[in-house]
Structure 1
Amino acid sequence: MMLRNVCVVSAMFLFACGEPEVVDGAELEAVNQEIVDNLLAAGYPESEIEVGDDGVVIVGGDAVVTLGASREMIGLDGHDDHAGDTRFRQYRTTNLVAPDVAVICIDGSAYTGTMSAALDKAIANYTNLNLSFDMVRTNGSDAGCDAEIVMTAKGGAGGSSGFPEGGLPYHTVNVGKSTANYGLAVATHVITHELGHCIGFRHTDYYNRAISCGTGGNEGDAGVGAIHIPGTPTDAVLNGSVMNSCFNQGSTGQWTASDVTALNALY
């Protein structure tokens, strides 16, 4: 997620901190090429796809895409029923967390001060809605967890995360250390936003990032990962959703009515 200053726009892309799936140089290049090819096939514009210096593929400025997730986006199951046979499956337009995931643990051991308080408030944003899963803060232990998300703090203001894969939420959220400089409400907003990606939400203004960022275009639809949720607006507006592409100094860290509608519809 990027910061938009409503007076002076400062577009800042933050590289994700997730580890690449394959670390060997030649293999990593091949894996990343397949991810990029899959994203292009899914309809993402080339301009919205980045490969970071750390070997992580990112779309929309802050959403990490793994090899498995990219295959799901184009309908590849990834399971081999027979040697050398990759089968296709019928797929949804959005990767979501499976219904049997009841407890998502959030490892916040890396956070102190404002960031720690913001994480608590972000988790409360989800748990207060009585969704199909609970988010529980932990400090390194994954006992009793159906899934785990590890929080890290690297870089400047803003954040990065990824989309669900295999029915599990994305496993890592990075929120830059200087995000705390904007205050508790903004830090809560950024963490809540990145956790939203982890459970399957796209940017509300994916079709025109300029709505919240002041600049930018369409992240790509093509019927993949951008299905309209019934009961929510079809047009995005500045500050109209926690899931807008960019935050600003006035971000509150609170769900809007349409955000709550969307969460209740899916979970």
Structure 2
Amino acid sequence: MFKKAAFVVVSCGALLSGCGGTEPQSENEQIISNLVEAGFPSSDIMVVDDKVYVGLDAHVTYDASVEMLQPGNESAEQYRTTNLVGTSVTKICVVPTSQFNSYSRLSQGLDAAIENYNSLGLRITFARGSTTGCTATISAKTMSGTGGSAGFPSGGKPYGTINIGTGLQSYSVDVNEHVITHELGHAIGFRHSDYYNRSISCGGSATNEGASNVGAILIPGTPDTATVGGSVMNSCFRSTESGEWTSSDRTALNYLY
């Protein structure tokens, strides 16, 4: 098993510490405060290169953290965040960088991930590149290692960037499809399906990313327990992943979008 963001090095010191000047540190502290108030445990929050992450691979902006505290989010009913993509977004264009395109399996994996979403007939569609009719854009970039990272929506828009590890070039196109599909899932509001016990997909000791009625909302019709291989949104992936949706993944996507 391979952890999605285990290869990210925390270079900003201890929790609640920022890198560089006072201004970004102050904003990061406010993001962390908002996340804790929204129900995420401090042990699941880390600062990497002046960015705040939860669940090891989900970047949270200040605006996204504020949205998690808005009145009404606490009563809403796989798992999602309170932040979703609004109805004004109908076509999301995923634009890979030239470096991303230089890795053949990452590139093929992106095409397959886009097809995963488009095959479901959702109210949102995905397209590769800056084509006509884009109502939101996500940049596909590379990072080191064999994991990935993204973030949660804010302001009704999907998170604007997914980062995919270049080490995935050594794995199958199916594995690349799986990881890219997973990170796009975060970008439109999905949390890890085993957020409450990462050891289900990652092994090792049990780790809870934080259960909260504002930050981890069970999607009706989906199981409240995770299994190995039970969802594309499991925290960690295997070298044998098919890259395809499970039945609960389809239920979750069709319910939300």
TM-score higher than 0.5: yes
**1:55 is the counterpart of 2:39:** no
> Structure 1 runs of 4+ off > 3 angstroms?
none
**1:129 is the counterpart of 2:120:** yes
Aligned in 2, Cα 1:208/1:172: closer, same or farther, shift over 3 Å?
same
The one-letter code of the counterpart of 2:177 is: T
The structure carrying a bigger strand percent of its residues is 2
1:191 offset after TM fit, Å?
A: 0.2
1:161 offset after TM fit, Å?
A: 0.1
On the 8 A contact 1:242/1:255 being kept in 2, the answer is yes
Equivalent in 103, 108, 114 of residue 105 of structure 2: 114
Partner of 2:2: 3
1:59 offset after TM fit, Å?
A: 0.3
On the 8 A contact 1:14/1:160 being kept in 2, the answer is no
Aligned in 2, Cα 1:205/1:51: closer, same or farther, shift over 3 Å?
same
Aligned in 2, Cα 1:229/1:62: closer, same or farther, shift over 3 Å?
same
Partner of 1:72: 67
Q: Which moved more, 1:108-117 or 1:55-64?
A: 108-117
1:12 offset after TM fit, Å?
A: 1.7
TM-score, normalization by structure 1:
0.85
Equivalent in 193, 213, 235 of residue 245 of structure 1: 235
The one-letter code of the counterpart of 2:199 is: A
On the 8 A contact 1:111/1:153 being kept in 2, the answer is no
Query: May I ask how many residue pairs the two structures share in their alignment?
Result: 240
On the 8 A contact 2:31/2:65 being kept in 1, the answer is yes
Unaligned runs of 5+ in 2: 11-17
Partner of 2:91: 103
1:225 offset after TM fit, Å?
A: 2.5
On the 8 A contact 1:118/1:184 being kept in 2, the answer is yes
RMSD of aligned Cα (Å): 2.1
Q: Distance in 2 between the 1:136 and 1:15 partners? A: 32
1:129 offset after TM fit, Å?
A: 0.5
The C-alpha deviation readout for 1:37-72, integer Å capped at 9, x for no partner, is 1111111111110001x1010000100000000111
Partner of 1:90: 72
The one-letter code of the counterpart of 1:48 is: D
On the 8 A contact 1:205/1:236 being kept in 2, the answer is yes
1:153 offset after TM fit, Å?
A: 0.7
The one-letter code of the counterpart of 1:103 is: K
Equivalent in 31, 34, 40 of residue 38 of structure 1: 34
TM-score, normalization by structure 2:
0.88
1:14 offset after TM fit, Å?
A: 2.5
The one-letter code of the counterpart of 1:256 is: T
Query: What fraction of aligned residue pairs are identical, expressed as a percent?
Result: 50
The one-letter code of the counterpart of 2:2 is: L
Unaligned runs of 5+ in 1: 5-9, 17-21, 76-88
